[in-house]
């Protein structure tokens, strides 16, 4: 997060499902950092922005 430009979203690719703890943590991180985080797990894309998720 430190080395990336400020307006660019963070993209994470994962081959396992996102557990509830990770889901909550990423929501909180997107709220604190103020950036969009896109996580791809084995079933769908999760778009985290401003402490909310698209799912």
Per-residue pLDDT 10s for the chain (55 aa) are: 677 787 788 888 888 888 899 999 999 999 998 899 999 988 899 999 999 999 8
pLDDT of residue 1: 67
pLDDT on residue 16: 85
Residue 15's pLDDT is what?
A: 85
Residue whose C-alpha is closest to residue 54's, from 32, 27, 33: 27
Q: Domains of the chain: which residue ranges?
A: 20-53
C-alpha–C-alpha distance, residues 45 and 55, integer Å = 8
List, in order, residues 6 or more apart from 9 with CB less than 8 Å away: 35, 36, 37, 38
DSSP string, 1-55: --SS-TTSPEEEE-SSPPPHHHHHHHHHHHHHHT--EEEE-SS-EEEEETTEE--
């Amino acid at each position: 997060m430190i080395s990336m430009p400020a307006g660019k979203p963070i993209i994470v690719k994962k081959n396992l499902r996102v557990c509830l703890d990770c889901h909550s943590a990423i929501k909180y991180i997107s709220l604190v950092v103020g950036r969009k985080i896109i996580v791809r797990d084995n079933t769908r894309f999760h778009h985290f922005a401003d402490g909310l998720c698209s799912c």
